[in-house]
Amino acid sequence: MKLFNIKKLGLIATTAVALLTGCKTDFDINASQENLSAGSLNYRDVLPSSIATSAKIVAADWKFLQNWMGYWARSGSYQNDNEEETYNFTNTFPTSGGNPWNDLYYNASSYNYVQQKAKASGDGFYEAICRIMKAQNFQMLTDVYGNIPYFQALQGNDIRNPKYDKGIDIYKDLFKQLDTAILLLKSPAAAASANANIAKNDLVFKGNATLWIKYANTLKLRMVIHCQNGIDAASSTSVTGIDYSAIMAGINAEGTGFLMSGETAKINPGFSSSKPSPFYRYFAINENGTLASLADFTKANAFAVGLGTRTTPGYYRYNADPRENKLYVKPDINSSASVYTARTYHKGIPYGAVSGFAPGYTGDSLSPINQVNSTSPATGLSPNGAASDAWLMTSVESLFLQAEAAERGLLPGVNPQTALTNAVKESFISLGLTAANATTYINGNAGYADVDYTAVADPTIGNLVDGGLYTIIAQKWFALNGIAPFEVWSDYRRTDIVYGEAVSYDQTNTGVWANQLSILSGAASSIPVRLFYPQSEYSFNEANVNTQGSISVFTSKVFWDLQ
């Protein structure tokens, strides 16, 4: 039976240098890259700042997805985020935390500059890293915006108005780019003697070619999995036009494999209180030693952590999931006291609730998502406070991707249940828990498909779906909180999963929280399946962006979203 068992739940809400740059104006995706070589800057020395910017994008550009997917919510101390919470979007969204279009294209242009210079100089390791990281940027852009400028993008004055390319064609070329990167990493051009300062400038793997090949293979696996739809045998299908068998056979033949336990792609160029890691800097304490504005603004979502009493658990406590205490900090009983004292339970706010809708849903009464003072505990995502690592892709995500690939028959010989168990254990360990904690959690939720891979639908115990694929996708939700919300959003879109369905976890509470707007609350029919193209495209590339027709953020799906 469920470890948390109450007959009546009551009200359950649902729901190092370029790194710290401020907001940019709209980015012209064909701006000349020559400014990157100003002065005596060596192109090799551009790589570290490019990687640091990538880490910032992963950590800080996706607050709106953290909210939509039920992890975070706006504190009741603030008025609503109008576009994000009402879904009445314009093509200037998002405006807080970062702008994916601007940031990803800007970052890609930086990698493109280094790639071109490295290729001309025979620096194969530098070129390979840039191909891999640029591929990740364009994978994200395609997943968020659908068809985008790709083949003619980043050409400077040569092509000022790039045409739009189909998402599937971009994916196909990204597979080729990653294959090229792997070949470079296995060639003499990747030798340290031919790549000056690679161990220093490679902030991620310190010049370890094997780990970069694993990263490239894992990115390929991520894209393959994106093209797989459905959460059971009846609904499963895949995008046509991509030879998955050939891609997976190529990965197998290459032989290096994927990122495994302990092989997270991460950086730490010397993060400190004066130069904090991006997740900590944006969502805890900034470089001035003061509470970051987004930390005060952002609190736990009630869907995830509940409403602060024994009988109103969130989805984590409903499963007796100890990761809750590693992803959130319990409210302080007396925030004015010198020493932090935790309340008994976490407390979240229903996403979209109007400021002042009820007493006790403001400021310090809610669970923060990060350490907010020196005496409160550090979270699992910032275990060392400002000096914590920043991640690009985690071993946790990689292991979940492998579990799903095995379940879908894409990794013959790999047992999907074993792969899933390893992924869950890696999630626990990465947050500072133990494999034994994970085993207790799995065993304590036997029979329930949100945790138990072998669960079979049984209406008499409230289990409404089978395990298997559902379990893998559901567990990714629990594991990637704060880490990769863009991947959880991709899962939601390509599978149409209903989080909590497996255990009749109350997501709707129709009429209870009249101001809740998240799909997880049942108050909105759906969350967006993509974003609008930015205004900069309509200003500088009007003819080409208009070929994409009228865009709806609710119905203009990216190419792999078949559900």
Query: What pLDDT shows up at residue 91?
Result: 84
Residue 69's nearest CA partner among 57, 80, 84 is: 84
Residue 449's pLDDT band (boundaries 50, 70, 90)? Answer: very high
Secondary structure class of 390 (helix, strand, coil): strand
Query: What pLDDT shows up at residue 525?
Result: 58
Across 410-417, average pLDDT: 96
Query: What pLDDT shows up at residue 62?
Result: 95
Query: What pLDDT shows up at residue 462?
Result: 65
Block residue for tokens 């998502």:
369
Residue 305's pLDDT band (boundaries 50, 70, 90)? Answer: very high
CATH 1.25.40.390 fits 18-271+390-506+514-546, yes or no: yes
Lowest mean pLDDT, pick from 17-21, 129-133, 231-235, 547-551: 17-21
- How many C-beta atoms lie closer than 10 Å to residue 128's C-beta? 29
Looking at per-residue pLDDT, the higher value among 144 and 28 belongs to 144
Whether the CB-CB separation of 545 and 538 falls below 8 Å is answered with yes
Whether the CB-CB separation of 463 and 449 falls below 8 Å is answered with yes
Bridge pairing between strands 265-267 and 237-238: unpaired
Q: Which helix or strand (DSSP H or E) is residue 95 part of?
A: none
Bridge pairing between strands 72-74 and 298-300: antiparallel
Secondary structure class of 256 (helix, strand, coil): coil
Q: Is the dihedral of CA 417, 419, 421, 424 positive or negative?
A: negative
Question: Residues 313-366: pLDDT tens digits?
Answer: 899 999 999 999 999 999 998 877 888 899 999 999 888 777 777 788 888 899
Sequence-distant (≥ 6) Cβ neighbours of residue 506 within 8 angstroms: 9, 12, 14, 500
Bridge pairing between strands 265-267 and 228-229: unpaired
Query: What pLDDT shows up at residue 454?
Result: 96
Distance CA 239, CA 463 (A): 30
* Mean of the per-residue pLDDT values of the chain: 87
Looking at per-residue pLDDT, the higher value among 99 and 219 belongs to 219
Q: Which of 24-28, 185-189, 333-337, 514-518 has the highest mean pLDDT?
A: 185-189
For the chain, the first-to-last Cα distance in angstroms comes to 32
Report the percent of the chain where pLDDT is more than 70: 88
Query: What pLDDT shows up at residue 147?
Result: 98
Distance CA 215, CA 263 (A): 9
Distance CA 404, CA 166 (A): 26
Lowest mean pLDDT, pick from 130-144, 240-254, 492-506: 492-506
Residue 60's nearest CA partner among 26, 22, 112 is: 22
Question: Residues 505-524: pLDDT tens digits?
Answer: 765 444 444 444 454 444 45
Query: What pLDDT shows up at residue 463?
Result: 66
Distance CA 563, CA 216 (A): 28
Query: What pLDDT shows up at residue 32?
Result: 41
Query: What pLDDT shows up at residue 33?
Result: 44
Residue 413's pLDDT band (boundaries 50, 70, 90)? Answer: very high
Report the percent of the chain where pLDDT is more than 90: 68
Distance CA 190, CA 419 (A): 32
DSSP state of 88: -
Query: What pLDDT shows up at residue 87?
Result: 76
Domain ranges of the chain: 18-271+390-506+514-546
- Indicate if the pLDDT at residue 92 is higher than 90: no
Distance CA 258, CA 266 (A): 15
Two tokens at 365? 């009464």
